[in-house]
């Protein structure tokens, strides 16, 4: 009987007492019909009532609904009760009267009466509703962006935006770019970066931002890899330019940078700590010759090194010692605040010692002292060490029982290949991407790693996922690449530190495999404030 046709609302009214119909319609309406209709007006009153009376209101009012239910023939009460889930444990009348009559139950009753309404009864609508932006910024990002704007358009017209890894420096930068394009029509913004992942990420993020914040059609020019550097008809929008491409174009087409500079009023340098490398510096200086040109650097690590203050001072001077650092009231270190507030994952930093037995000669110690990072020769020896690799594999296997997505930072391409092969032998879903990987292989593997699969997966890499890689589901990192570079270490940690408010995880594990003979790091929060003394105005 559940599939039976119910009963028409008009049929219910036709069988109802006339007194009931007159009450529903109202005496003034009945009187009007009496004046308009000669003879008996009963049929007219019933017909008009079926159209004039709101069945939604009858069903929505408990007293009126009870009277309407009483008018149903007994067999139709059974049909309606069955549609609403009656289990025969009581009479249909008792069952129907005891229902809470939710919005869905009222819709079923309307359908039973043969009525299709565009709008079912609704709860009172509040006069105040929140309106969510499609490309919004968190409060701390908005405060930082406001400070950046003041520095970009006055005085030296250059500054660095210093946000911790995983806090949305690209998103905040795109908000600033969209604001600039709206205020300076027509004009070009140039986004400078290294590496295909960083460049493509920037182009896609701008398109997403401009779709929400833009006010006109603009050009998005991708210039890296094999893409041409033709500037014809590119006068309004953004040029996402690879630094290697810029350097090559400057040599092959001498007027390229000058032509681009004439149209550019804002240059953005992603990973700004690289900006004073001689080749890159020449590109930036060529693009910022206009008196109304501004320069914005973006970085989570506003220093070139860990311990060479002179190099860090050169970087600070290049940006006029103007840096906007994330500030959160009540906290000396914003990273701590962002973790507590859920913007960053709460990291568990652990070190696992792998005593390789490697002895450092006097020459090795001299090489360490003279280098900003651990010399390649020492890393190669370590990557071939049995005890070292045993500890790396054990660490990954242990984490695979607790995490769905694990990133492994290997010591070399060969080291990555070896570890992946061993993990696969143990039945672990493990893949690798390196500088030798084809674009197609990289895209396939990275998309699978970012995908919704529930089986644990390990993605090993060497040299390609430290920047420009966003996989919020990654909740563990194994750092098996010894480094004394605070910049590199912070970038590796940053791949897994995105918190729940930013689409990531509430906690993450960062396990650094260390050899007691070599230096290293262990806490990214300390890294954030490492360079503050360098940036303070003299």
| Residue pLDDT, tens place only, 21-52 | 888 878 877 887 777 766 678 887 887 787 77
Asked whether the domain spanning 342-532 has the same topology as the one spanning 139-325, the reply is yes
Token digits for 257? Answer: 């940078």
Per-residue pLDDT, averaged over 417-439, amounts to 83
Select from 409, 404, 471, 458 the least CA-distant residue to 431.
458
| Residue pLDDT, tens place only, 454-511 | 788 999 888 776 555 666 778 888 888 877 666 677 777 777 777 887 777 888 888 8
| Residue pLDDT, tens place only, 156-202 | 999 999 887 767 888 899 999 999 999 999 999 999 988 777 788 88
Select from 537, 148, 183 the least CA-distant residue to 326.
148
User: What CATH number has the domain spanning 342-532?
Assistant: 3.40.50.300
pLDDT of 532 over the 70 cut? no
Per-residue pLDDT at 538: 29
Buried b / exposed e across 217-230, counting CB within 10 Å, b at 16+?
ebebbbbbeeeebe
**Residue written as token pair 């549609």:** 83
| Residue pLDDT, tens place only, 362-373 | 776 676 665 656
Are 243 and 170 within 8 A, CB to CB?
no
**Residue written as token pair 């810029």:** 246
CB contact set of 350 (below 8 Å; sequence gap of 6+):
509, 510, 511, 512
Per-residue pLDDT at 1: 40
The one-character DSSP state at 502 is G
State if pTM tops 0.75: no
| Residue pLDDT, tens place only, 497-515 | 778 877 778 888 888 887 7
| Banded pLDDT at 436 (limits 50, 70, 90) | confident
Per-residue pLDDT at 339: 82
Per-residue pLDDT at 375: 67
User: What CATH number has the domain spanning 139-325?
Assistant: 3.40.50.300
CA-to-CA dists, residue 149 to 158, 205, 238, 461, 476, angstroms: 10, 20, 18, 37, 36
Q: Hey, where are the domains in the chain?
A: 9-112, 139-325, 342-532
């Amino acid at each position: 009987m559940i599939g039976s046709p119910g009963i028409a609302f008009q049929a219910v009214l036709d069988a109802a007492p006339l007194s009931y119909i007159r009450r529903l319609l109202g005496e003034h309406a009945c009187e009007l019909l009496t004046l308009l209709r000669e003879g008996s007006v009963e049929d007219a009153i019933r017909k008009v009532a079926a159209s004039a009376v709101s069945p939604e209101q009858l069903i929505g009012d408990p007293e009126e609904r009870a009277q309407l239910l009483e008018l149903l023939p007994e067999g139709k009460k059974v049909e309606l009760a069955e549609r609403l889930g009656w289990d025969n444990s009581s009479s249909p009348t008792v069952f129907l009267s005891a229902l809470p009559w939710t919005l869905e139950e009222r819709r079923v009753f309307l359908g039973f009466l043969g009525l299709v309404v565009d709008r079912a009864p609704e709860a009172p609508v509040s006069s105040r509703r929140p309106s969510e932006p499609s490309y919004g910024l968190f409060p701390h990002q908005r405060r930082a962006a406001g400070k950046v704007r003041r520095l970009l358009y006055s005085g030296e017209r250059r500054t660095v935006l210093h946000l911790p890894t995983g806090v949305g420096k690209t998103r905040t930068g795109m908000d600033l770019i969209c604001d600039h394009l709206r205020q300076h029509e027509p004009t070009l913004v140039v986004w400078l970066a290294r590496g295909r992942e960083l460049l493509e990420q920037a182009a896609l993020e701008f398109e997403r931002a401009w779709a929400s914040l833009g006010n006109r059609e603009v050009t998005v020019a991708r210039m890296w890899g094999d893409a041409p550097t033709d500037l014809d008809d590119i006068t309004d929008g953004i040029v996402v330019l690879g630094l290697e491409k810029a350097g090559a174009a400057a040599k092959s087409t001498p007027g390229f940078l000058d032509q681009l500079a004439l149209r550019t009023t804002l240059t953005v340098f992603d990973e700004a700590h690289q900006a004073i490398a001689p080749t890159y510096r020449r590109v930036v200086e060529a693009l910022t010759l206009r008196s109304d040109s501004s320069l914005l650097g973006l970085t989570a690590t506003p220093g070139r090194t860990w311990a060479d203050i002179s190099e860090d001072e050169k970087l600070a001077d290049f940006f006029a010692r103007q840096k906007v650092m994330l500030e959160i009231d009540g906290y000396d270190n914003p990273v701590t605040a962002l973790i507590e507030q859920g913007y960053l994952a709460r990291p568990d930093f652990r070190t696992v010692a792998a005593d390789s037995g490697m002895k450092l000669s006097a020459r090795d110690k001299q090489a360490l002292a003279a280098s900003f990072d651990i010399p390649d020769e020492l890393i190669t020896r370590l990557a071939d060490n049995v005890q070292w690799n045993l500890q790396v594999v054990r660490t990954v296997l242990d984490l695979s029982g607790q995490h769905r997505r694990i990133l492994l930072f290997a010591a070399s391409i060969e080291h990555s290949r070896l570890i992946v092969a061993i993990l696969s032998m143990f039945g672990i879903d493990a893949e690798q991407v390196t500088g030798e990987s084809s674009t197609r292989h990289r895209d396939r593997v990275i998309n699978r790693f970012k995908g919704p699969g529930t089986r644990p997966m390990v993605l090993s890499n060497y040299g390609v996922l430290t920047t420009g890689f966003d996989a919020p589901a990654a909740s563990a990192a194994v750092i098996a690449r010894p480094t004394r570079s605070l910049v590199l270490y912070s970038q590796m940690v940053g791949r897994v530190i995105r918190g729940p408010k930013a689409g990531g995880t509430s906690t993450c594990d960062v396990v650094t495999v260390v050899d007691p003979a070599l230096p290293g790091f262990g806490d990214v929060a300390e890294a954030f404030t490492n360079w503050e003394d360098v940036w303070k105005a003299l």
